[in-house]
Amino acid sequence: MGQMSRCLVAGLAVFLILLGNVAPGGAALQQGRPTISVREARFGAKGDGVTDDTAAIQRAVDWLYAREGGKILFPPGTYIVTSVNIREGITYEGYGATIKRPEHLTDKIGQKAAHWVRTFTTQKYKYCGQSDSRPLIIRGLTFDGSSQTQGPYKKYELEHAALVFLTGDKKCPGRLTAVVEDCVFKNAVADGLSVYVNVKVTMRNCLAENCFRGGFVLTGGHSVAEVTNLTTRGKIDPTGIDVEVDGAGFGNSYKVEVYLENLTLEDGDFDVGVKDGSVVLGKNIFAEAPFNLVAPRSRILLRDCRFGIGPDNHLYFPQEVSFEGCEFFVSSRVPDKPYQQHSAAPKIVWTTKYYKGENQKVTFRECRFVLPPGYRKNPAARYYGLLTTWDDVDYHNRLEMEGGAIQGDFDVGLGMVHRGGRWRLKNLSIEAALPLALTGFADSLGRSFFDIVVEGLKVKSSRYIHLTGYPQANDNGLEHRNVVIPAKANIITSTHGLEGNRYAGNRLIIGPEPPTAATHGLPGDVFEQEGTGKRWRCVRPGYLKSRDGTERLVEARWEEMPASR
């Protein structure tokens, strides 16, 4: 286990202990507190699906909060609610009960007003304290946003009208503590559960269906979230999760800590964007396109996950990102357009003109990258196992791949869509028409050289590598360790030539006949004739040079090595 994994696992243990104490603590705090029903005469809720029960439920909340909290029961029924200001220290429980947004609310109060109507919300009474609050618990309720009666919302006309909105007060260090369990969120014009600043929330055993922006959404800093056993789906509004922190919490912090486990995102996106020292830990997550991960100055560890990837899915600014035991596959949901680049893994974007990413690292351990049979629909499209974008070697970014396999009818196993990069590949199996495609040279954009170490690579193809670089202005480096390939898989091609690169180590090429000038090789490679023990070393590279539509053989030179004793 790597250093990052050990540190994150240790942190995870503490993280889960802290979060695990939320619900039991809440139960202890509420022992001896009143339990009331919203249908009591003094409150007057009907739950008949017709009467507006907003005022009645608010009376119950205010009455109980004034007595230092307790439990509010919602007997089975449908409660029409515009917006209720909920408070900490109270459990809101309603197995068999539905909290429903009034139909045609936008027509009644206007779009501008409806834009900010949250069904259950803490926005009016934000918790503010030196330590975390008593728990606010929502249990067993179904929230229905009546989305199909609310008028236009798919251009974000009602994007802040969440079904449940939780926030603390960023002026104080204490967080609002909340537990949301056994709940259903459906037909939302915005978020199902929306979490903003200064919140410590546990969401478990929930379902979100047809929630326009997401079933679980986290947008504020100085927050901690644990989401487990969440299923999202939606044919009207594909529903996933969205962690997109753009609001500063206490101390002007955008930092969040997020733990995700057992998430099944049947139709929606996996969209996580964090920064400023945030930590995201995930296990057993399934999602199929879109997938986007943004992680400047943050740490991400995802284990035993399965992600379907589309051509516009990216991993941006990966300060310290690790995938362990995960599977990535090319998603069939995305239309196959001519000349489009598809990849099984999200495209890695190290840096852009807006952000300079330095000392970043992406690690894949024992991961699989799959192109399922039958996914090729357009012969002009290109399929990659993994792609990286432009990188300057002076930025010291690093891609590490250890173990695992790239499987399927890929055009390219690992490729640089532009140029430059520092890769370390160890004990990886690649099944692709071209296993490796490397590009590196300096120009006006920077020192875009490649620095590649390949160790224990296994290839299943008739080609091995394509190298692009300008020999007259080149600092590309390629090192091989413990790589054994059959001669039939030893085709090497280059656009501008191989002579300017730096080579270290060697590959062992095994074939039935001695090498000739037409046998491809890199300086230092060793060729072994099967059954004889005879060996030759490559002292001048041999390859196919292809440029401007023409191809010619650059002859190699092999020198016989003395027989070993």
Q: What is the mean pLDDT of residues 319-325?
A: 98
Q: What is the pLDDT of residue 344?
A: 92
* 3-class secondary structure, 246: strand
Q: What is the pLDDT of residue 2?
A: 54
Question: What's the one-letter identity of residue 484?
Answer: V
Question: Sorting pLDDT into bands at 50, 70 and 90, what band is 23?
Answer: very low
Question: Sorting pLDDT into bands at 50, 70 and 90, what band is 26?
Answer: very low
Nearest residue to 508 via CA among 486, 540, 477, 475: 486
Q: Which two tokens stand for residue 48?
A: 């008949």
Q: How far is CA 131 from CA 87, 199, 337, in A?
A: 16, 12, 54
Omega of the bond leading into 135 within 30 degrees of 0 (cis): no
Please give the share of the chain, as a percent, with pLDDT higher than 90. 78
Q: What is the pLDDT of residue 239?
A: 96
Please give the share of the chain, as a percent, with pLDDT higher than 70. 92
Q: What is the pLDDT of residue 33?
A: 85
Q: How much is the mean pLDDT over the chain?
A: 91
Centroid of chain to Cα 548: 39
Question: Sorting pLDDT into bands at 50, 70 and 90, what band is 5?
Answer: low
Question: Sorting pLDDT into bands at 50, 70 and 90, what band is 28?
Answer: very low
* 3-class secondary structure, 242: strand
Q: What is the pLDDT of residue 548?
A: 74
Q: Which pLDDT tens digit goes with each residue over 507-524?
A: 999 999 999 999 999 999
Q: What is the pLDDT of residue 21?
A: 44
Q: Which pLDDT tens digit goes with each residue over 420-440?
A: 899 999 999 999 999 999 988
Write down the residue that tokens 């002292």 correspond to.
539
Residues 6+ apart with CB under 8 A from 341: 311, 347, 381, 382, 384, 387, 417
Q: What is the pLDDT of residue 48?
A: 97
Q: How far is CA 188 from CA 93, 214, 549, in A?
A: 20, 9, 55
**If you ran DSSP here, which 8-state letter would residue 38 be given?**
T
Instruction: Give, for 536, the enclosing helix (H) or strand (E).
Output: strand 535-540
* 3-class secondary structure, 368: strand
Q: What is the pLDDT of residue 378?
A: 73
Nearest residue to 494 via CA among 516, 475, 471, 524: 471
Dist. CA 563–CA 565, nearest whole Å:
6
Q: Which pLDDT tens digit goes with each residue over 524-561?
A: 999 999 999 899 999 999 999 987 778 899 999 999 99
Question: What's the one-letter identity of residue 477?
Answer: G
Secondary structure in 3-state letters for 426-478: ECCEEEEEEEEEEECEEECCEEECEEEEEECCEECCCEEEEEECCHHHCCCEE
Q: Which two tokens stand for residue 172?
A: 């104080």
Dist. CA 218–CA 223, nearest whole Å:
9
Q: How far is CA 349 from CA 157, 271, 545, in A?
A: 31, 16, 29
Question: Sorting pLDDT into bands at 50, 70 and 90, what band is 17?
Answer: very low
Q: Which pLDDT tens digit goes with each residue over 243-297?
A: 999 999 999 999 999 999 999 999 999 999 999 999 999 999 999 978 999 999 9
Cβ neighbours around 332 below 10 Å, total: 15
Q: Which pLDDT tens digit goes with each residue over 338-397?
A: 667 889 999 999 998 888 999 999 999 999 999 988 777 677 788 999 999 989 888 999
Dist. CA 244–CA 246, nearest whole Å:
6
Give the chain's largest Cα–Cα span: 100
Q: What is the pLDDT of residue 399?
A: 97
Q: What is the pLDDT of residue 497?
A: 87
* 3-class secondary structure, 395: helix
Q: What is the pLDDT of residue 124?
A: 96
Q: What is the mean pLDDT of residues 31-48?
A: 92
- The pTM score is 0.92
